[in-house]
Copies of this chain bind each other. A is one copy, B any other.
């Protein structure tokens, strides 16, 4: 009867029930190439750009830099523009179209992610079971639950929102270790489950027996925000990279962190104690992981710094080398001695070769080396990008609680 009713004349007047076009885009072909299609009969020029294309060097007001390349689509007689890529390695990629110069989301692809204030479409290329693309896909494995949870932060004097992943089987009972997974500047408690594919990575690695079932807590790292844009009473404001710094918080993220641990350990069935807690994060969240772990040396046995924005102490006195600044900062040295005196099981640093934070991380490793503080170091290709952070989570999570 429903199908019948939908044929009624008056359907046209109802909510847009049939949306999008019949175009298939993107289409991941068997050989790993990907075909993009856009219906744009009036357009003069249609391009596609994204991280599936080789980087190109461009001149900017700040000097030479790299950005994703641009490919031209060709129009057929029906007004459908098409481009097929080279074979792509297994990965999650992003892209957008440009139609006569204007950035355009693919109307045939409902899968997109927001990075601060910018949406891009996404697609995944897989080759075989266990490859990078496969790890980011939703596979036929048991799935954990993902919850948006409001907790009380007395330190920040507000209720705050965080994302909590509980592994498949959590509802059957048992106690679990906890990974605290922190986002970067401009991000929020949604970032790791959207751009970061954290739930898929954990589901797949747990199902493969490579990661111990664990709770993953993804808080909001902006201490003057209750929640992601649009999810608290500030209204539907436009997010920005520095937006969360516009008002002074009651305390720092680091100072407020025990509120989160306290809430989690009260409201979830966790295994307690240092050996059952890990913390890691990307960029600003790597900086948070760095600071929080040394502020509370007995809290975490596993610390991961992903492309970390590390505030190394010693201020910005450029007359000294970074190593001298660190060595001359008494409080910093005391904290670091306490942290490594508590013998964390893993202190893990990862960064891409072209990351703009590469040098500061290299300086920090120099300090760790000079003190003989043990750490593991992973250096990858690429820069300050989500592609790296997903790989780092994949690597780091396999080393935890074992």
Interface of A toward B, CB cutoff 8 Å: 1-6, 8-20, 24, 40, 42-43, 55, 58, 60, 62-63, 65-67, 99-105, 107-112, 114-119, 122-124, 137-140, 142-150, 159, 161, 168, 171, 185-186, 229-233, 235-236, 238-242, 267, 284, 287, 309-312, 316, 354-357, 360, 383-386
| Chain B residue at minimum C-beta to C-beta distance from A141 | B233
Chain B residues contacting A186 (CB-CB under 8 Å) are 17
Check B150 against A147 for contact (C-beta < 8 Å): no
Q: Report Cα–Cα, A137/B8, bound state, in Å.
A: 35
| Chain B residue at minimum C-beta to C-beta distance from A41 | B101
Chain B residues contacting A20 (CB-CB under 8 Å) are 116-118, 238
Check A116 against B17 for contact (C-beta < 8 Å): yes
Contact A1 B360, CB 8 Å, known A15-B385, A16-B115: yes
Chain B residues contacting A150 (CB-CB under 8 Å) are 142-145, 168
| Chain B residue at minimum C-beta to C-beta distance from A245 | B3
Check A110 against B100 for contact (C-beta < 8 Å): no
Check B110 against A119 for contact (C-beta < 8 Å): yes
Q: Report Cα–Cα, A115/B240, bound state, in Å.
A: 27
Check A149 against B145 for contact (C-beta < 8 Å): yes
Check B142 against A9 for contact (C-beta < 8 Å): no
Chain B residues contacting A105 (CB-CB under 8 Å) are 105, 119
Integer count of this chain's copies in the complex = 2
Check B241 against A354 for contact (C-beta < 8 Å): no
Check A232 against B67 for contact (C-beta < 8 Å): no
Contact A62 B11, CB 8 Å, known A2-B287, A186-B17: yes
Pick the residue among B102, B139, B240 that contacts A99 (CB under 8 A): B102
Chain B residues contacting A185 (CB-CB under 8 Å) are 2, 17
Pick the residue among B110, B119, B240, B384 that contacts A14 (CB under 8 A): B384
Chain B residues contacting A240 (CB-CB under 8 Å) are 18
Q: Report Cα–Cα, A251/B117, bound state, in Å.
A: 43
Q: Report Cα–Cα, A360/B10, bound state, in Å.
A: 14
Check A102 against B15 for contact (C-beta < 8 Å): no
What are 30 A-B contacts defined by CB distance under 8 Å?
A1-B311, A10-B356, A12-B62, A12-B63, A12-B66, A13-B356, A13-B383, A14-B384, A14-B385, A16-B118, A17-B185, A18-B240, A18-B241, A19-B117, A19-B118, A20-B238, A42-B101, A99-B102, A104-B104, A108-B238, A110-B114, A110-B230, A112-B119, A138-B231, A138-B232, A138-B233, A145-B149, A145-B150, A147-B148, A171-B267
Check B233 against A139 for contact (C-beta < 8 Å): yes
Q: Report Cα–Cα, A152/B264, bound state, in Å.
A: 26
Check B360 against A309 for contact (C-beta < 8 Å): no
Contact A360 B15, CB 8 Å, known A20-B117, A118-B20, A119-B110: no
| Chain B residue at minimum C-beta to C-beta distance from A185 | B2
| Chain B residue at minimum C-beta to C-beta distance from A1 | B311
Interface centre among A109, A119, A312, A316 (most CB of B within 10 A): A119
Known contacts A10-B65, A10-B354, A13-B383; 16 additional CB pairs below 8 A are A2-B309, A6-B241, A11-B62, A11-B65, A12-B63, A13-B354, A16-B115, A17-B186, A18-B240, A20-B118, A40-B102, A102-B104, A110-B238, A112-B119, A142-B159, A147-B148
| Chain B residue at minimum C-beta to C-beta distance from A11 | B356
Q: Report Cα–Cα, A276/B287, bound state, in Å.
A: 48
Check A5 against B356 for contact (C-beta < 8 Å): yes
A368 to chain B, nearest CB (A): 18
